[in-house]
Structure 1
Amino acid sequence: MRKVLFVCTGNTCRSPMAAVVLQDKVKAECLTNEIYVSSAGLAAVPGSPAADNACAAVASLGLSLGSHKATALSMNMIEAADLVFTMTRQHRDAILRALPTAGRKVFTLTEYVEAAEEEITDPYGGDLSSYHNCLLLLKKNIDKAWPMIRALV
């Protein structure tokens, strides 16, 4: 089984939204036994729910974060993953400082799809529109990454 891990700061907005979007693609192609998708945060408070506006944004796509609980990133999670997608270069660099050997599998989501200058900014504390815009950017990049992720299986 291939493991894809999304990482952001608090694991209540960007990475859970990204994970649920990719999980939906995995499920739609009946690949749940081949691709496992998860998310974590560099500064997550374990057990925190997804932000209300993140839940509302994904609901607009017919998806749900209702059962999401924030998870703190661990080195074991990085080592077990086949791909680690961060939201910003700062997230990526923090992971690589802690685990330099992970360099070949840790990318910002946008650099993975060759949109290297773009980052997924944090909508935390913003209005629903900022969450929806973030979700659309995540979805656009995940759609671009999907053929490469799918090729892993």
Structure 2
Amino acid sequence: MSEPARILTVCTGNVCRSPYIERRLQHELDRAWGPGAVEVSSAGTGALVDAAMEPDALSRLGVAGGAGEDFRARAITRELVSDAQLVIVATRDHRGAVSRLYPRALSRIHALRDLAQLAEGVADDELPGRTSARAWLDEVVSLIASKRGLRPPLEPREADVVDPFRQGRDVFDTMSTQVEDALPQVLRVLGAGAGAGAGSR
């Protein structure tokens, strides 16, 4: 089997946003590419190391079709960033923190909601041919980076996924809604949505 594609998701504590995004992506990408073709992991810039996923995030993940009972938080490292072909962060501040850890990765680090907006600018016929998930991701990451600056960027308040840690259930609802609203376009360019493979050669 060829080497898997690797995606890293990042937030602060690694107990709410990034594990939710991680497990949602993993679920959908396993369905699209087959188990093992894509490895999605997560970490936190101020991780609550070894902590379980927050119950309110976990319950919403279950409703959305993911599972996280076995999840344990971990701290971000330079090696995790360098190994990832794509890094998806919860906020633009996280993008800055991750890029300072490994500056060479800057072009492949995106806040989730910024990534969804950039993905909207990728036409179905621009998507790569469906070979391996790793080759697809390499091409798509470069394609997405080329879309920067072609459309007005999101306002700061629109770009970040809200942090629900130690907040009320309504904030967890907002978090999950923000993630779920962004996922269709992100999954499409990751080969797990409508139009994926339209450019097959």
Task: Measure the CA separation in 2 of the matches of 1:36 and 1:116.
Answer: 28
After TM superposition, the score normalised by the length of structure 2 is 0.71
**2:38 equivalent to 1:38:** no
Task: Name the SS for the 1:84 alignment partner.
Answer: strand
Amino acid at match of 1:124: F
2:102 alignment partner in structure 1 = 99
Cα separation, 2, equivalents of 1:37 and 1:63: 13
Task: Please tell me whether Structure 1 or Structure 2 has the larger radius of gyration of its CA atoms.
Answer: 2
Distance in 2 between residues matched to 1:13 and 1:7, nearest whole Å: 10
TM-score w.r.t. the length of structure 1 is: 0.91
2:25 to 22, 27, 45: 22
C-alpha distance in structure 2 between counterparts of 1:59 and 1:132, whole Å: 13
Aligned residue for 1:123?
164
Contact 2:7 2:86 in 1 (8 A): yes
Distance 2:65 2:176 in 1: 13
Check whether the contact 1:49–1:70 (CA below 8 A) recurs between aligned residues.
yes
Instruction: Please state if 1:108 is matched with 2:111.
Output: yes
Determine the C-alpha separation between the residues in 2 that align with 1:111 and 1:139.
Answer: 14
Specify which structure has the bigger relative contact order, considering alpha-carbon pairs within 8 angstroms and separated by 6 or more residues: 1
Flag as ranges the 4+ runs of structure 1 deviating above 6 A.
none
List gaps (5 residues or longer) in structure 1.
Answer: none
Q: Is the 8 A contact 1:57 1:128 kept in 2?
A: no
Q: What residue is the counterpart of 1:76 in the other structure?
A: 79
- Aligned-residue identity in percent: 26
Match of 2:175? 134
User: Which segments of 5 or more consecutive residues in structure 2 lack a partner in the other structure?
Assistant: 118-152
CA deviation vs aligned residue, 1:118-138 (integer Å, no higher than 9, x gap)? 210101112223212211211
Q: Verify the 8 A CA contact 1:41 1:71 in the aligned structure 2.
A: yes
**Any idea what the Cα deviations from partners look like across 1:89-146, whole Å, max 9, x if unmatched?**
1100111122211111111111112273321010111222321221121122122111
Name the CA distance, whole Å, in 2 between partners of 1:98 and 1:116.
25
1:58 equivalenced with 2:99 (yes/no): no
Aligned-residue Cα RMSD (Å) equals 1.7
Q: CA deviation digits over 1:47-69, x for unaligned, max 9?
A: 11111111121122243221110
Aligned partners of 1:14 and 1:87 also within 8 Å = yes
**Structure 1: distance between partners of 2:33 and 2:103:** 34
Contact 2:15 2:48 in 1 (8 A): no
Q: How far off its partner does 1:30 sit?
A: 4.2
